[in-house]
Amino acid sequence: MKLGVDIGGTEIKFGVVDDAFATVEKFAIPTPRKYGESIVEAIAEVCLETAKKYPVEGIGIGSPGIIDGREGVILRASNLPFLNTPVTEPLRARTGTRVVLGNDASCAMLGELYAGYGREYDDMLMITLGTGVGGGIIIDKKPYFGKNGSAGEFGHMVVEFDGLPCGCGRKGCFEKYASVSALIGLTVRAVEENPKSLLAEMSGAKIDGRTAFNAMKEGCPVAQQVVDEYISHLAVGVENLIMLFQPEIIVFGGAISNEGDWLLNPLRSKIVTDALLVCSRLKNDAGYIGAAAQLLDEA
């Protein structure tokens, strides 16, 4: 069995998968936010516990950011405190197990390639809409990683000249407009400007990426506007990606993809070019399933 680990901005997901990538058990812990090393340490603890229960033959990790897969190091990440953080070596030393490391969205793409839509389509893009925006590219059934392994950083395409500053050092990155954090930002602003709206009423103590969608489903026009503005931004990046790659299919993952057709129908109506847009079949499990799939020789 393999253990897949998907490091996210708010939680770290773990999944034990069998040889057919079916999930045997899955669980999650909150992401420690202080140091990159504390994240690696928290993962090691869970791996050791899991190995007591299952015959774990290898551990696959997916992390946001620019990864040196050969050295097993996270070079940097915009939304987590990683900077030249060694991952595979400390984990291998603690667990005595083979450990591999890749980008989280590339892992979601591998999950989709081996256990989802990738079995039916040759040319595919994956777009993950979470704390950041990630991407993955499949050309002719093969993952494309570019010269340094980091192709598919869709979240850092610049979609707005002199736009919002991003943690990566650029301005106007796609993820500043299309991530969960961006949607939360739009929701907070709308609540402040419309304190009597249903959206404000439904916000309660905490606004998250579901708040605007939930209020929109209850018929709130303010929430409808928030979702519409969010999807208009998303459409800009998606249209650009279609023109660049002409994929057969674009698969959406990450928290916002749980909205299904509430997300995709308006998105389809804003896209000029014909393209098949779907939400991941593996849902939130794509990341850890694909992280485990990195252990395959051909991955």
List of residues contacting ligand BGC (CB under 6 A): 64-65, 78-79, 103-105, 128, 130, 132-134, 153, 155-156, 175
Tell the smallest beta-carbon distance from residue 133 to ligand BGC (Å). 6
Cβ closer to ligand BGC: 78 or 280?
78
Sign of the C-alpha dihedral, residues 194, 200, 205, 208?
A: negative
Least distance from C-beta 288 to ligand BGC, angstroms?
Answer: 13
Cβ at position 175, least distance to ligand BGC in Å: 5
Residue nearest to ligand BGC (CB): 132
Closer residue to ligand BGC, CB minimum distance, 220 or 250: 250
Residue closer to ligand BGC, measured from CB, 94 or 149: 149
CB within 8 A of 142, min separation 6: which ones?
none
* N-terminal to C-terminal alpha carbon distance within the chain: 17
Q: At what angle do helices 261-270 and 221-245 cross, to 10 degrees?
A: 60
- Which of 146-176 are b and which e, b meaning 16 or more Cβ less than 10 Å from the residue's Cβ? eeeebbbbbbbbebeeeeeebebeeebbbbb
Strands, sheet with 276-279, edge to edge from the N-terminal-most edge strand:
142-143, 133-139, 124-129, 249-253, 276-279
CB 62 → ligand BGC: shortest distance, Å? 8
Considering the complex, state which of residue 168 and residue 216 has its C-beta at the smaller distance from ligand BGC: 168
Shortest distance, position 106 Cβ to ligand BGC, whole Å: 7
Q: Nearer to ligand BGC by C-beta: 47 or 105?
A: 105
Q: Is 229 helix (H, G, I), strand (E, B) or coil?
A: helix
- Shortest Cβ distance from residue 14 to ligand BGC (Å)? 17
One DSSP character per residue, 132-147 reads SEEEEEEETTEE---T
Closest CA to 257 of 127, 138, 170, 159: 127
Cβ burial of 292 (10 Å; 0-12, 13-18, 19+) is buried
Residue closer to ligand BGC (CB basis): 23 or 181:
181
Name the minimum Å distance from CB 190 to ligand BGC: 24
DSSP state of 32: P
Rg of the chain in Å (alpha carbons): 19
**Nearer to ligand BGC among residue 103 and residue 258 (C-beta):** 103
β-pair type (276-279, 249-253): parallel
Residue 112 or 175 with smaller CB distance to ligand BGC: 175
Phi then psi for 123, rounded to 5 degrees? -120, 115
Nearest-approach distance from CB 23 to ligand BGC, in angstroms: 21
